[in-house]
Structure 1
Amino acid sequence: MQLTEEQRLLVRSVRDLAQNEIKPNAIKYLDGTFPWENIRKLADLGVLGMSVPEEYGGLGLSILDTALVLEEIAKTCYVTAMAVLGEVGVQTRVISTYAPEHIKADILPRVCTGEALLAICMTEPDAGTDVASYRTNTRRAGDRVVLNGTKTLISRADEAEMFVVFTRVDGTPGNKGIGCVLVPRTTPGFAVTGRFHTLGGEYLHEVQFTDCELPAENLVLAEDGLKKLLHAFNTQRCLNPSISLGLAEGAFDEARRYMQERTAFGQPIGDFQGMRWKLADMYKDIEASRVLLYDACVSADPFPDPLKAAVAKIFTNEMALRVTSEAIQIFGGFGFTDEYPVSRFYRGARYGTLGGGTSETLRNLIGKRLMAGADAPDGILGMNGY
């Protein structure tokens, strides 16, 4: 697959900013400091509006374009890449696809400028992947709805202005009862009740909704909304691994440079066959992941194919763990220190298999789809569409 000239220009502009201005300061975000200065610079480039339709001031770019940009940012700073993901990921696409017009017109232009950050609330203290067990509930009451519940491990909760909340509707049990409600930060009864510092450096939070009263139109998806939400969530299953791919590439670049500069027994360590094989395996894995991920991204219409997205996410997330770990090995003891970026790439890579659908959940999804398609007319499920 060849990138267009417009895509190459986009990548180059983001790469220049990331390498020259974001990378030199990446270490300071390990303590949980939110990267506001990077967010503002990226907003000036138009990056935060990539997923926002043009009529609201955005660029309306494809999922592949968005993945390419996240990949470049992740090569330099995991924390910044995750902050950007909150503006270009599924929460933005849920709002632009399902929210009432006045909410779109209010918040989407401010997403583009970095004035309004978004957060998605899925996981609960007692339920993550098991959506059918969610206890958070939105009760309809005439022209209002009332939200109660607790969500946890939420990104950007200290900074976000709008929360896209997966919720049960009117107590309806099981998957059929899941919908989505939009909650402004200023809503009475909303509170951030806890936070957790992560291995990657950023904070995750617990948020609580206590009798949060909202206009009925904020309930943007009601009964059987889960299917639509999961279709949209396949976007995240392409953008999450784009960060993993960037982290692996960043670690690879650092390892290759170190192998050229570091000497042992009178020669660069890159002259040893064993070290070259490490580099070859890292490169092989990165390029295989790239093919799978880009293919999943271009399948979007408007959201990516679930099977392609699941395969790309598992493979790329797990690849990033191998490659970043091998980069640390190449650096030796220095790789274990915070001062060298390879350890930070590894910290970030560890999140990939956890967020956006765990590898275990996605393997179940893939297996189910393969069994359902075992009798495909051409005999090879993966060849459909080629």
Structure 2
Amino acid sequence: MSTELFITTDFQRRWVNELTEAGPFFSSFSEQSDTLSKFPKENIQKLVEMGYTTLTLPKEFGGEGISVTDMVLFQETIARFDSATALAIGWHQGVVGELYENRKWTAEQLAQFSEAVQQGALINRSVTEAQTGSPTRGGRPQTTATRSAGGWVISGEKTFTTMAPALTHFLVSVWIEEKQQIGFFLIPRESEGLSIKETWHTISMRGTESQTLVLDDVKATDDQLVEVNEAPRGNKLNGWLLHIPACYLGIAQAARDYAVHFAATYQPNSLDEPIASLFNIQTQIGKMDLELIKARHLLYDIASIYDDEARRVHLQNELGAAKSIVTNSAIEIVNLAMRIVGAKSLELSNPLQRHYRDVRAGLHNPPMDDMTITKLAHAAINEQK
């Protein structure tokens, strides 16, 4: 099982090969990053040097203008080697892709930021708060932007700021009392009053260092107010969020590969052949590949539909369904892999226990399963009306 079937261009082939060659470098930091809950800055710097972080910029802005399908393919490749690196850089890739697809910023703002990205800038949206939970559920930000003589003053805290140690820019959601709307400010890391609070103490995706962003009377200009939204972001079609299931699919592939190799090489003295010769082990392997085929075909098919503007208009809840199905399949694949390897999979030196913890994080990335299922039910009921 691999992504070979989904590579259709020379460009894709070149980048998959380059990322695969860099794979051992990425994975060399995985155990330490997980154990110490320390962000793998070396991996991100490597991707910046490779030019990877500029790929989702359109060509007229100095990038390659890659498609969502390209991004999914590349993100899955990275995740096979290091999950924290893939999820972290996926947010940057997805945010940049979305920004330049929608073009809601002014031409000047887009041009200036594209120059920053070409020079190594890294961005993520900072939207989650302890009081509101996931912003996709429609909660109003407690972070506020208040008018001042020179522009705006922003105060508040944002949890789950993935890649916090490496970000150069934060796209922060705020409640603008003056406008009675939610807005987004682009805030550089060096802004006075901006700090990072180390609150990331989880069992999953420890290396992402998704710390808390603290904004203490941070001053911003009118030009930094780059978006004003009238509706919750969770209601908008955004194919660039498919970097999330791509990451968990890559983790599942890594777990599957480890388990198959183990089954083909481990031979207890009670057997004349490795355990791969046993029917029950073959059944588990077959189930893993069945889940991989289902998840991968669905993910890449929906990505390709999104990339075709004529077909994209027919998408309704398929993006959320892809995330749900792929993530749950990934969890099951890792579960099956651990059943094959047995108690050895629980050893802290075994990568499967890390895959097991990391893949569970997918359930809590947007959109969550309950929202997807509810939307599917509402769509079905509305059809009858």
TM over 0.5: yes
Match of residue 291 from structure 2: 285
Decide whether the 8 Å contact of 1:54 with 1:60 is kept in 2: yes
- Structure 1: 5+ residue runs without aligned partners? 376-386
Q: How much does 1:322 deviate?
A: 1.1
| Residues 138/370 of structure 1: CA separation in 2 closer, same or farther (3 Å cut) | farther
Instruction: After superposition, give the CA deviation of every residue in 1:187-235 in whole Å (9 maximum; x if it has no partner).
Output: 22222233213322222211222332211122222251535x7536442
2:236 is paired with a residue of what secondary structure? helix
**2:357 is aligned with 1:347:** yes
Alpha-carbon distance, 1:75 to partner? 0.7
* Structure 1 residues 306 and 331: CA distance shift in structure 2, 3 A: same
**Higher mean C-alpha deviation, range 269-278 or range 129-138:** 129-138
Distance 2:6 2:72 in 1: 15
How high is the TM-score relative to the length of structure 1? 0.87
Aligned residue in 2 for 1:45: 50
Q: 1:163 aligns with which of 164, 167, 170?
A: 170
Alignment of 1:291-302 (within 5 A): 291-300=297-306
Local SS of the residue matching 2:226: strand
2:143 partner amino acid: T
Which residue of structure 1 lines up, in the alignment, with residue 30 of structure 2? 26
What aligned pairs does 1:173-212 form with structure 2 within 5 A after superposition?
177-199=181-203, 200-202=205-207, 203-212=209-218
> Does 1:251 find its partner at 2:255?
yes
- Structure 1 residues 223 and 255 mapped into 2: Cα distance closer, same or farther (>3 Å)? closer
CA distance in 2, matches of 1:225, 1:94: 17
What CA distance in whole angstroms lies between the structure 2 residues aligned with 1:40 and 1:24?
A: 14
Q: In the TM superposition, what whole-angstrom CA distance separates every residue of 1:234-272 from its partner, at most 9, and x where no partner exists?
A: 421x11000011011111111100000011322211111
Distance in 2 (CA, whole Å) between partners of 1:194 and 1:44 is 27
Report percent identity of matched pairs.
Answer: 23
Shift in Å at residue 179 of structure 1?
2.6
Match in the other structure for 2:142? 135
TM-score when normalising by structure 2? 0.87
Q: Verify: 1:66 aligned to 2:76, yes or no.
A: no
Q: Secondary structure at the match of 1:124?
A: coil
Structure 1 residues 188 and 100, CA gap change in structure 2 (3 angstroms): farther
Q: Residue 316 of structure 1 corresponds to which residue in structure 2?
A: 326
Could you tell me which amino acid in structure 2 is paired with residue 3 of structure 1?
Answer: I
Deviation (angstroms), 1:12: 2.5
1:120 maps to: 125
Deviation at 1:148, TM superposition (A): 2.4
Distance 1:243 1:35 in 2: 16
- Name the CA shift for 1:297/1:170 in 2 (closer, same or farther; >3 Å): same
For each residue in 1:298-338, what CA deviation from the matched residue of structure 2 results, as whole angstroms up to 9, or x when unmatched?
Answer: 23257894511111000011111111122122111221123
Q: Secondary structure at the match of 1:196?
A: coil
Amino acid at match of 1:85: G
Residue 76 of structure 1 pairs with residue 89 of structure 2: no
Question: Contact 1:86/1:117 (CA < 8 Å) preserved in 2?
Answer: no
Q: Matched residue of 2:172: which SS?
A: strand
Q: How far apart, CA to CA, are the structure 2 residues paired with 1:370 and 1:118?
A: 37
- The letter for the 2-side match of 1:120 is R
Instruction: Describe the shift of the 1:234–1:364 C-alpha distance in structure 2 as closer, same or farther (beyond 3 A).
Output: farther
The one of 275, 280, 301 aligned to 1:269: 275
Structure of higher RCO (CA pairs closer than 8 Å, 6+ residues apart) = 2
Candidates 358, 367, 371, aligned match of 2:381: 371
Q: Which amino acid letter does the alignment assign opposite residue 163 of structure 1?
A: F
SS of equivalent residue, structure 1 residue 282:
helix
The Cα offsets for residues 324-360 of structure 1, whole Å up to 9 and x where unpaired, read as 1221221112211232221221222111110122222
**Per-residue CA distance 1:111-168 (angstroms, 9 max, x = gap):** 345x322121111111123333322222345772332222112112232111111222
In the aligned structure 2, how far is the partner of 1:22 from the partner of 1:76?
6
Secondary structure of 1:133 counterpart: coil
How far apart in 2 are the matches of 1:306 and 1:369? 9
Cα pair distance change 1:198/1:104, threshold 3 Å: farther
RMSD of equivalent CA atoms? 2.5
Task: Decide which moves more: 77-86 or 256-265.
Answer: 77-86
Distance 1:192 1:26, change over 3 A: closer
What is the count of residue pairs matched by the alignment? 368
**8 Å contact kept, 1:120–1:163:** yes
Higher mean C-alpha displacement, 9-18 vs 271-280 = 9-18
Identify which of 32, 41, 47 aligns with 1:36: 41
